[in-house]
Amino acid sequence: MEKQPRLLASQLLLKNSLFEVSLNRVLLTWKEIPTKKKRVSGGIHHPFKVAGPRSATAALAWIASLCRVNWMAHNLASEFFFMSWLTFFITSQGTSHGVSVSEILAVRELDVDSGRKDDGRWQKMPQKSTEAYPYAFTVSYVERAWQHRWRCSDVTFHCLEGALCQQWVQTIREQLTALTSRPKHLLVYINPYGGKQQGERIYEQKVAPLFTLASISTDVIVTEHANHARDHLRTEAELKQYDGVVCVGGDGMFSEMVHGLVSRTQRDNGVDQNSPEEKLVPCTLRIGIIPAGSTDCICYATVGINDPVTSALHIIVGDAQPMDVCSVHHNNTFLRYSVSLLGYGFYGDVLADSERKRWMGPARYDFSGFKTFLTHHYYEGTVSFLPATDILGTPRDKTRCRAGCFICQHNGQLYSEDAPEICETDPDVSDSEYKGGWRVIRGKFLAINAASMSCACPRSPKGLSPAAHLADGTTDLILVRKCSRFNFLRHLLRHTSKYDQFDMTFVEVHRVRRFRFTPRYCQSDSELDLRENGKRLFSQICRDHPACSCSPAYSSWNCDGEILPHAAIEVGVHCQLIKLFARGIEEQPVFEDLPNPCAV
């Protein structure tokens, strides 16, 4: 990294030891000044002094718990490396600590005499420092914890003189003000009925205090009915005064934000959403999501964890992650947008069944998932798709979409240059054909899924399509053909293990820019409206299947947790149409459970 000029450098007291503290445009660092008196015996006390547990006993307990968790999570070989790394970590004499200025949340002066911070919070002051170093300031910053979690950590420095203390506070504040990507004013929507109905509590207890700490002002709306947030965003909200919109809820609530914002942007720019070929205008406002839902796959796949504090901190530091959005049309009429899963067959049936069991909370998906698995329905139809052949990456890659993803950058660039679509030559598949660059596949499917991102969630930490990208302008079309119950179970279980769910003869996956689906029994003139005419056409099917152990003619589409009213749809991907307050999943050291000691 280019050496940055120092803005400030002082000797300050931290936990009764003198530290050389320095600040430049990118880093705040503090390094203990060794004195004979303060020499620390046994390495364990030292590295944890600032960033970890507050005593050696606590540190040992903490390490023990990490080992326990790690033992369960990793195999023996990785355990060995974990212990070697930990031994190195414990015995190293590193005493420098650093935090990136972009991850400082706030700085405040401390009223040492009263032992009270200027935000009204109390803290215990060490006796020695109050006497010798009577002025103090506290820096709150992002600390990385286990499995992609972020936490707010504090470090308090004590100064000999009040002027020096003020100079530090003022300089850090100036640095923070210069970070223009940080939001100052947010519009927040809370769904009080999402997930375990904890949205309001989560916001009040975990998120609002962090926004206050970071001097972010908010207008908060607790939604009163479904689509309240969508309609407010689309028509009423005075968006110019906000730096972003935030929802507290699940993927359904996030979908409302996307619909409100995307529709508003198209309307303001005179774009007709009903035309499937229309190029949509990207939204400028960023969307934040505080997870309080049932699946929380948007958070899981963009941040790495469904943790409200982590998501709030990503909003505060002003992260920006572009994301693809699929538009779904039927007969040149706009139906919905999708950012995660479009699923026909299995996931459509799970959703349709689970909607009647909302009272069960998130467990409804497990119940309906099991029930749908037992029914084992398949659906006939034709899938046509435009393969994305001009891009980097395939759905079978081992690499994953991570923070600063090169594939998303590269393919996003291609998309904005409107690169021509190139098509493969004839395939050697009996029930598929090519038509003008489109590939056509007819068959009987247990599931047809389009994953525009990995769709990782607590039920499936690697997701429906582990190598899918958040912002590459494509969606991964997964076709699961009719197979035995046993094989389908094997396929489903592979979503929860390290084994490849696509490496099965009845599963195929294609990275596509557009696709269409037409169910076999689709009436071309008056297309069946599933919402009004939800009954399944068993009688038609039974003529084809005399034994009558058959499936209904139609499933429904699960579009990010909403049921679509039509089975025949056309889908197009709009590259990087929206931006989230996120940065993609950060790469972590091999042993993810360890905190980052911020050593420089």
Ligand X SMILES: Nc1ncnc2c1ncn2[C@@H]1O[C@H](COP(=O)(O)OP(=O)(O)O)[C@@H](O)[C@H]1O
Ligand Y SMILES: CCCCCCCCCCCCC/C=C/[C@@H](O)[C@H](COP(=O)(O)O)NC(=O)CCCCC
Would you tell me which residues interact with ligand X (CB under 6 A)? Answer: 191-195, 223-228, 249-253, 256, 293-295, 561
How far apart are CB 468 and ligand Y at their closest, in Å?
11
Interaction mask 470-499, Ca ion, x per CB under 5 A: --x---------------------------
If binding is defined by CB under 6 A, does position 250 make contact with ligand Y?
yes
**Distance between CA atoms of 254 and 256, rounded to whole angstroms?**
5
Q: Name residue 457's beta-bridge partners.
A: 460
Q: Is 251 labeled as catalytic in the residue annotation?
A: yes
**Distance between CA atoms of 289 and 310, rounded to whole angstroms?**
10
Strand extents, DSSP E, 47-198: 96-100, 104-111, 116-117, 135-144, 150-159, 185-190
- Binding piece for ligand Y, criterion CB under 6 A, among 42-50, 64-72, 117-125, 289-297: 289-297
Burial of 334 (0-12, 13-18, 19+ CB in 10 A): middle
Task: List the structure tokens of 167.
Answer: 């100079």
Residue (195 or 348) nearer to ligand X, CB: 195
- Binding piece for ligand Y, criterion CB under 6 A, among 175-183, 244-252, 268-276, 302-310: 244-252
How far apart are CB 293 and ligand Y at their closest, in Å?
4
- Answer with the entry of ligand Y, Ca ion, ligand X, none that 263 interacts with (C-beta below 5 to 8 A by kind): none
Exactly one of 33, 61, 64, 493 binds ligand Y (CB under 6 A); which one?
493
Residue (473 or 561) nearer to ligand Y, CB: 561
Exactly one of 243, 256, 324, 349 binds Ca ion (CB under 5 A); which one?
324
Of 317, 330, 180, 188, the C-alpha closest to 253 is 188
How far apart are CB 271 and ligand X at their closest, in Å?
24
Query: Of these residues, 251, 324, 472, 476, which one is catalytic?
Result: 251
Q: Name residue 186's beta-bridge partners.
A: 218, 244
Residue (294 or 302) nearer to ligand X, CB: 294
Residue (272 or 355) nearer to ligand Y, CB: 355
The crossing angle, in degrees rounded to 10, of helices 76-91 and 56-73 is 160
**DSSP designation for 204:** I
Chain centre to alpha carbon of residue 27: 26
Strand arrangement of the beta sheet that strand 116-117 belongs to: 96-100, 27-32, 17-24, 6-14, 150-159, 135-144, 104-111, 116-117
If binding is defined by CB under 6 A, does position 59 make contact with ligand Y?
no
Burial 389-419 (b: 16+ CB within 10 A, else e): eebbbebeeeebbbeebebbeebbebbeeee
Exactly one of 49, 336, 481, 495 binds ligand Y (CB under 6 A); which one?
495
**DSSP per residue, 419-441:** PPP--------TTEEEETTEEEE
- Answer with the entry of ligand Y, ligand X, Ca ion, none that 378 interacts with (C-beta below 5 to 8 A by kind): none
Exactly one of 473, 519, 561, 597 binds ligand Y (CB under 6 A); which one?
561
Residue nearest to Ca ion (CB): 324
Q: 412: which residues sit within 8 A by CB, 6+ positions away?
A: 322, 471, 472, 473, 575, 576
Total residues at interface with Ca ion (CB under 5 A): 4
How far apart are CB 276 and Ca ion at their closest, in Å?
18
Exactly one of 199, 244, 260, 293 binds ligand Y (CB under 6 A); which one?
293
Interaction mask 435-454, Ca ion, x per CB under 5 A: -----------------x--
- Number of other CB atoms surrounding residue 515 within 10 Å: 24
If binding is defined by CB under 5 A, does position 469 make contact with Ca ion?
yes
Exactly one of 129, 460, 465, 551 binds ligand Y (CB under 6 A); which one?
460
Q: Decide if 470 contacts 405 (C-beta within 8 A).
A: yes
If binding is defined by CB under 6 A, does position 341 make contact with ligand Y?
yes
- Answer with the entry of Ca ion, ligand X, ligand Y, none that 460 interacts with (C-beta below 5 to 8 A by kind): ligand Y
Burial of 2 (0-12, 13-18, 19+ CB in 10 A): exposed
Q: Decide if 424 contacts 387 (C-beta within 8 A).
A: yes
Which residues are catalytic, by number?
Answer: 251
What is the binding site for ligand Y (CB under 6 A)? 250-252, 293-297, 340-341, 347, 350-351, 365, 369, 455, 457, 459-460, 464, 492-493, 495-496, 558, 560-561
